[in-house]
Amino acid sequence: MAPISPEYANRLLAELTEGCPVPAAPTPLSRYAFQISNHVLIGDTAVRGHKYKGRWRLDDRDIRAAGKRLASLPFDPDDLVDARLSPSERNRTWRAQIHRWFEHISYHDQSANGCRCEGRQPCNLTRPNRHGLGCGAIFEQVKERYGRSPIACTSPLPLLTWSGTTWIVPRAYANLLDRADKIAAECVEQAARCSRCNAAGDIWRWRTSSNTGYTTLCSACAVTVARPYQGHLRGRQYASLLKASQPDAFLCRLCPSPRQALYWDHCHEHGFVRGPLCASCNTYEGGGHKFIHQPGAVRHLLLCDGCRRERTVPPRHQPDIVLQTLVPDPHGPCTKQLHSAWGSVEEDGSVRFRLRCWHYASAAQWEQVVPGVQVRQLVKEFVDKALDGDATAPGQESV
């Protein structure tokens, strides 16, 4: 194997397909590309990703073979077929993906410019205009937003044409993407099988990132390779851990069913180890948004001796605590529930909320600041209540 980086793989594909009717398109070949499958599709070729020294890599020979196959595709630009773009949201086909792009552009154009159709206002976006899109949208808007978005490492938009009644595409390209859809579905089906017992299951519950890539383990097999964490690192500083501390020897503390961990989660404010988490839970905690609503999340955060002593949680989780008691400022005569409220912690400890309402157009978005003193008090009360609840709940892990 000759491992190459995703960036180099994209450049190599571009060189191999330069001047071809179906050129390769730059694809973000990050770890997320391999989350639901071990492969990435380049045309109708599945190329396996590998984790090498902690970074994702691809085999140079696989990339060259896929690029040459794509470049040699028999192609007649005058042999066109109906693209049959599908509106099914649950469909993971190339047709459904392009249809979602069209829907997104039509919706946002109508939101920004109002409905420009005749008859009942506003229209439901299902009736195509002379550009083949909903309401007043035009194809240039689609190309501007999604022109660099690839499907199977190719650019579909330059090959699409509106005939006046339907979207058409070269037959060879449609057949290529149909084959890619079939291969992708097979790869996903295989990735959903336990790597030990071959049982088929829920890919989102069983599949997790590991030091060698993504692995799929059913709950029964997970407990044979990892064990429950008993808190032996409680009070330890993360910086003091050895590289050989092996968090993957333990099960994730937060997953509802057994799942192998990958990281030692720790408090970035105080440095204390909280326990082993899988990649998904670790990412969720790092993002902060709505993490405290996950079962066991608050108890997990308070395994940090510093947070427990100061009766606080890391700043990224504080907006969600404040949001539980926040009374939004009035926005005109509207009495509807807010569509969204997103908060960020400022340098002085205050939380700035960006509020949004789709029912009252003149006040669609505004800001509201909760002072730092109030934030600290609300967080302290929240933590005190959580600690009191743990102290009185039988059989719960003590924090």
Count the neighbouring beta carbons within 10 Å of the beta carbon of residue 122: 12
Query: Binning pLDDT at 50, 70 and 90, where does residue 370 land?
Result: very high
The pTM (predicted TM-score) of the whole model is 0.78
Return the domain boundaries, the chain. 3-71, 80-191, 203-310, 318-377
pLDDT in tens, 146-193: 998 999 999 999 999 999 999 999 999 999 999 999 999 999 999 999
Q: CA of 121: how far to CAs of 42, 110, 124, in Å? A: 43, 11, 9
**Predicted local confidence at residue 127, as pLDDT:** 86
* Residue 28, pLDDT score: 72
Rounded CA-CA distance 25/28 in Å is 10
Q: What is the mean pLDDT of the chain?
A: 88
The listed range with the strongest mean pLDDT (122-136, 155-169, 326-340, 381-395) is 155-169
- Pairwise CA distance, residues 161 & 124, whole Å: 23
The pLDDT tens digits of the residues spanning 203-259 come to 888 988 888 888 899 999 999 999 999 999 999 999 999 876 899 999 999 999 999
Local confidence band at 365 (pLDDT 50, 70, 90 cut-offs):
confident
Instruction: With cut-offs at 50, 70 and 90, classify the pLDDT of residue 31.
Output: low
Name the residue type at position 175.
N
Q: Give the Cα separation of 55 and 191 in Å (integer).
A: 20
Tokens of 253: 């503390």
